[in-house]
Chain A
Amino acid sequence: MFNKILFATTASPTCDNAAKVAFDLEMKWDARLYVFHVFGLTGYGYSPFVTDSRTGEDVREGEDYRAWVIEEMKNTYAKQLEGSENIVLEATVGLPHTEILRKARQDKVDLIIMGAHTREEDIGATRFRSVVGSTMQKVAQAARCPVVIISRPCTTCWRLFSNIVFGTDFSKAANSAFLFAFKLAKEVGAKLYLFHAIDIHFGDTGQTQRQEVIEKKVEEARERIEKRYVSQMDGFDNYEIEIWEGVPYVEILKFAREKDGDLIVLAHHTKEIDPEKALLGSTVEQVVLRATQPVASVNRPDRVAEW
């Protein structure tokens, strides 16, 4: 399923949880793993120097510095690198999301793994944050392959996943997310939960919905799931459909907790084109912030369809 995996890292402890999963996948799936670190942010105009994301210092970008950064990465991941052969360490400068997407496209990777946020303790993070915070968003939104975001320790190995939760909003992008969830569930023999949350949150207008309207919507959603997804599953029967109502990101988190979900699969705020505008409205963002398990965001069929 995964031949090439791109682990986009800040090469700092923030990404430790993600690193664990990335290196684990490399071993278990026998994939090639690119450990990719965008270490510096360039200024506008042409500046031959960049702000190092870890030290916060202006440095001269060049072969020497790059080699030094890679050396540092080797130290950081010394333990994980032991005994693995199929790992490539790379470092570059630029806007993190642009460079990650460029790399993913260049090497046609099957999966991107990344941490969610830069932490306060990282020196130089303050200036970096404005872009790093949205790096995950922008990558998840534009990537052609699934993007797995890991912000908390993931204790289960992927091979041993037993419950995969797929949350849908019935958008076009959600079809790709479904394909990924389904194929993965089949491959590792996990149970697939097809989940939809009816959004009954109307802001602060004080409006409420009548119970029968909600129930009707629940019924409709169930039918849509049957028609749209179950019909594609080709006899696979280890699944369950659930429709809850409430605020979508809260409901999906509650659901994943109840079912001991190992992975949540979503399409990234597909209703909004511009990730900046959907900054807070994004279900994926909210889920990532709070989820105890990895979250996969899949927007496009390009890579998943080939598996």
Chain B
Amino acid sequence: MAQAASKIIKTEIYDEGIEKGIERLTQQRIDQVINHVLKNEVGARLKTYVDTCVHCGLCSEACHFYLSYDNDPAFSPAGKVKQTIWEILKRKGNVDAEFIKRARLIASTECNLCRRCAMYCPFGIDVAYLMSIVRRICHLLGVTPKYQQDTVHSHAATLNQMWVKEDEYIDSLMWQEEEAQDEIPNLRIPLEKEGAEIFYSVIAPEPKFRAQLIYQTAVLMNVAGVDWTMPATPGWDNSDMCMFSGDIEMMGRLKKAHFETAMRLKVKRIVMGECGHAFRSVYDVGNRWLLWKWPPIPVTHAVEFYYELFNEGKVSVAQKYDKTVTFQDPCNISRGRGLHEMGRYLARTLCTEFIEMHPNREHNLCCCAGGGVINCGPPFKMKRILGNRAKAEQLFAVKARGAETIIAPCHNCHGGLDDIVHHYGLGMEIKFLGDIIYDCIEKPV
């Protein structure tokens, strides 16, 4: 493994977006952009973090990249900061194009913004924030991995992540409604229902490729008798790759469209599907960029919503899922929102046997797909998989204790774990809570 790791670091990964981006750079442009960001976009937060850090390195072992690449200090959170933002500050922005390239690679493909390191820093320094600033600078310099930039283009053009056309989206909902009516004849997926209790929002891959997830939600909503709706206009997608590429103006536009859609429909709250990064964007980052300390309309993540339904007895379990499960805590809803106990409540309610992986809850290791890393595409796939050997070891340990299925209430976790399970030959099944809920709940006959 030691060899594989060092090989990866030394091998140049070619990414057209980054390479073409740095070709266009001039020293003047770099100076200008960096000084603009440092002067106008950051303030006390950056200064506090930078001035407080004592370079102790306690954050190192928090990072899955560091652990997986044989404790190479270049991969420790402090190491990444040292190679990027500190250097930028030290040199007052006087860095060259090669430096920008390296900075982009570090911030976007060697850090998932999972914030595990913040748990281990004696001062609670949020390294993810520092990496976001680096990403922001690179975005303004036009140095972004090609695949990620493509997703951002889709957001800009369609307000969703996957170039889903408006009629295509609506048709997918109608289709799933028809399918589900086979099971529950009077089932509806209410479109544009003004004044509904809940606006259910999804990420674009659901209507595009995983329509089954919408089907399952429709069944759950109908069984639980929830007053809900989905919009028929752009603004239905809650995902946000712009937040991760550094295109925060676009992030703001997306979140604005999302909130305004909810307001137009006069709903009481937004319930989101099982996605982590979208939650971070709607509940934490995007809303704050729009100057809302808290979202203007209450936002509930699927895990919390399911918890309510079971806890209030709106749905009940007919038959428990009979394989031994373990729970993958997605960073954005566990560390970000503290939903880990609710997730466990659901796992225990729905499954006969639940065992913990270690570490867990807010200390869980990242899947290595989040933070926009999986969206950097094929060039970086192996770097990402090898960069999470630690996760494979963690999963192997829980598998050795009997776990067969991993519950992962996040799309990115699914993607990341799927690759890890295949690459390391773990042979475990990965499921959404929604999959298990659909299988296990009492449905009208």
Please determine whether B411 and A44 come into contact, CB atoms closer than 8 angstroms.
Answer: yes
Query: Is there a chain B Cβ closer than 8 Å to A49's Cβ?
Result: yes
- Alpha-carbon distance between A58 and B162 when the two chains are bound, in angstroms: 18
B210 touches A45 (CB 8 A): no
Per-residue contact bits, chain A 70-112, to B (CB 8 Å; 1 contact, 0 not): 0000000000000000000000011100100110011000000
Q: Which residues of A contact B172 (CB under 8 A)?
A: 102
A233 within 8 A of B: no
Cβ-defined contact, A46 with B162, below 8 A:
yes
B375 interface neighbour in A46, A60, A102, Cβ under 8 Å:
A46
In chain B, positions 137-195 with a C-beta closer than 8 Å to chain A are: 147, 150-151, 161-162, 171-172, 175, 178-179, 182-183
Using CB atoms, name the residue of chain A closest to B367: A45
Residues from 30 to 58 in A contacting B, C-beta threshold 8 Å? 42-49, 58
**Which residue on chain B has the smallest CB distance to residue A93?**
B209
- Contact between chains at A58 and B210 (CB < 8 Å): no
Does B374 lie at the interface of the complex (its beta carbon under 8 Å from any beta carbon of A)?
A: yes
Q: How far is the CB of A305 from chain B (nearest CB, A)?
A: 16
A20 to B377, CA, bound (A): 38
**What chain A residues lie within 8 Å of B203 (beta carbons)?**
46
The reply to whether A102 and B415 form a contact with Cβ atoms under 8 Å apart is no
Q: Is A274 an interface residue (CB 8 A)?
A: yes
Chain B residues whose C-beta falls within 8 Å of the C-beta of A142 in the assembled complex: 179, 182
Complex CA distance for A101 and B182, rounded to whole angstroms:
15
- List chain B residues, Cβ under 8 A from A48: 147, 150-151, 375, 377
Contact B162 A49 (CB under 8 A): no
CB-CB < 8 A to A188: which residues of B? none
B415 partner residues in chain A, CB cutoff 8 A: 43-45, 47
A49 to B210, CA, bound (A): 16
Instruction: Determine the main DSSP class of B at the interface with A.
Output: helix
A105 nearest CB neighbor, chain B only:
B175
B183 and A45 contact, CB distance less than 8 A: no
**Quick check: B162 and A127 within 8 Å, CB to CB?**
no
Q: Is the CB of A42 within 8 A of B375?
A: no
Q: Say whether B414 faces chain A, with CB atoms less than 8 Å apart.
A: yes
Q: Does B422 contact A (CB under 8 A)?
A: yes
Q: A302 — nearest CB in chain B belongs to which residue?
A: B178
Question: When A and B form their complex, what is the total count of cross-chain residue pairs whose Cβ atoms lie within 8 Å?
Answer: 73
Residues of chain A with a CB closer than 8 A to B212's CB: 95, 98
A247 within 8 Å of B by Cβ?
A: no
Contact A46 B151 (CB under 8 A): yes
Report the separation of the CA atoms of residues A27 and B130 in the bound assembly, to the nearest whole angstrom. 65
Task: Decide if B325 is an interface residue (CB 8 Å cutoff).
Answer: no
On whether the beta carbons of A47 and B375 are closer than 8 Å, the reply is yes
Specify which chain A residues have a CB less than 8 angstroms from the CB of B439 in the assembled complex.
Answer: 274
8 Å CB contact of B412 from A45, A60, A98: A45
Interface-centre pick from B239, B378, B439 (highest chain A CB count, 10 A): B378
Which residues from chain A contact B183 at a C-beta distance below 8 Å?
273
Report if A44-B414 is in contact (Cβ < 8 Å); known contacts: A98-B211, A274-B439: yes
Contact of A45 with B375 in the complex, beta carbons under 8 Å: yes
Residue of A nearest to B175 (CB): A105
Q: Enumerate chain A residues within 8 angstroms of B241, measured Cβ to Cβ.
A: 46
- What B residues does A98 contact at CB under 8 A? 209-212
- Size of chain A's interface in residues, with CB distance under 8 A? 23
**In the complex, how many angstroms separate the beta carbon of A141 from the nearest chain B beta carbon?**
10
- Flag if A60 contacts B378 (CB, 8 Å): yes
Q: How far is the CA of A42 from the CA of B378 in the complex (A)?
A: 12
User: Which residues of chain B are within 8 angstroms of A93 by Cβ–Cβ distance?
Assistant: 209
CB distance from A62 to the nearest CB of B (A): 9
Contact A95 B369 (CB under 8 A): no
Q: B418: CB under 8 A from chain A? A: yes
Determine the residue in chain A with the shortest Cβ distance to B211: A98
**A34 vs B107: C-alpha distance when bound (angstroms):** 46
Q: Hey, which chain A residues are within 8 Å of B161, CB to CB?
A: 46
Task: Collect the chain B residues with CB atoms within 8 Å of residue A105's CB.
Answer: 175, 178
Q: What A residues does B205 contact at CB under 8 A? A: 42, 44-46
B204 within 8 A of partner (CB): yes
Q: Is B253 an interface residue (CB 8 A)?
A: no
| A98 vs B147: C-alpha distance when bound (angstroms) | 25
Q: Is the CB of A47 within 8 A of B209?
A: no
Of A47, A59, A93, A95, chain B has the most CB atoms within 10 Å of the CB of A47
Q: How far is the CA of A106 from the CA of B167 in the complex (A)?
A: 12
Q: Does B266 contact A (CB under 8 A)?
A: no
Q: How far is the CA of A93 from the CA of B209 in the complex (A)?
A: 8
Smallest distance from the beta carbon of A215 to chain B beta carbons, Å?
A: 33
Residues of B within 8 A of A273 (CB): 183
B373-418, CB < 8 A from A:
374-375, 377-378, 381, 411-412, 414-416, 418
A 135-168 binary contact with B (CB < 8 Å = 1; else 0): 0000000100000000000000000000000000
- In the complex, per-residue mask of B330-372: 1 if CB is within 8 Å of any chain A CB, else 0: 0000000000000000000000000000000000000001000
Contact A42 B374 (CB under 8 A): no
Bound-complex Cα distance A47 to B210 (A): 13
Q: Given the known inter-chain contacts A58-B378, A102-B211, A142-B179, please indicate yes or no for A45 contacting B147, CB distance below 8 A.
A: no
* A47–B377 touching, CB < 8 Å: yes
A106 to B375, CA, bound (A): 30
How far does the alpha carbon of A47 sit from the alpha carbon of B150 in the complex, in Å? 10
Closest Cβ of chain A: how far from B34's Cβ, in Å?
A: 29
Please give, as numbers and ranges, the residues of chain A lying within 8 Å of B175 by CB-CB distance.
102, 105
A23 vs chain B, min Cβ distance (A)? 28
Closest to A273 in B: B183
- Residue in B closest to A277 when the chains form the complex, CB atoms: B439
In the complex, what distance in Å separates the CA atom of A45 from the CA atom of B208? 11
For A130, the closest partner residue in chain B by CB is B429
For A47, give its contact among B239, B374, B422 (CB under 8 Å). B374
Report chain B residues within 8 Å CB of A59.
Answer: 378
A139 CB, min distance to chain B CBs, angstroms? 12
A43-B374, A46-B162, A47-B377 known; 12 other A-B pairs, CB under 8 Å? A44-B210, A45-B411, A45-B414, A46-B375, A48-B150, A59-B378, A94-B208, A94-B209, A95-B212, A102-B175, A105-B178, A274-B439
Write 17 A-B pairs (CB below 8 A) sorted by A numbering: A43-B419, A46-B374, A46-B411, A47-B377, A47-B415, A48-B147, A48-B150, A48-B151, A58-B381, A60-B378, A95-B209, A98-B212, A101-B179, A102-B172, A105-B178, A106-B171, A142-B179
Q: Which 8 A-B pairs have the closest CB atoms?
A: A44-B414, A44-B415, A45-B415, A45-B411, A45-B412, A58-B378, A94-B209, A43-B415
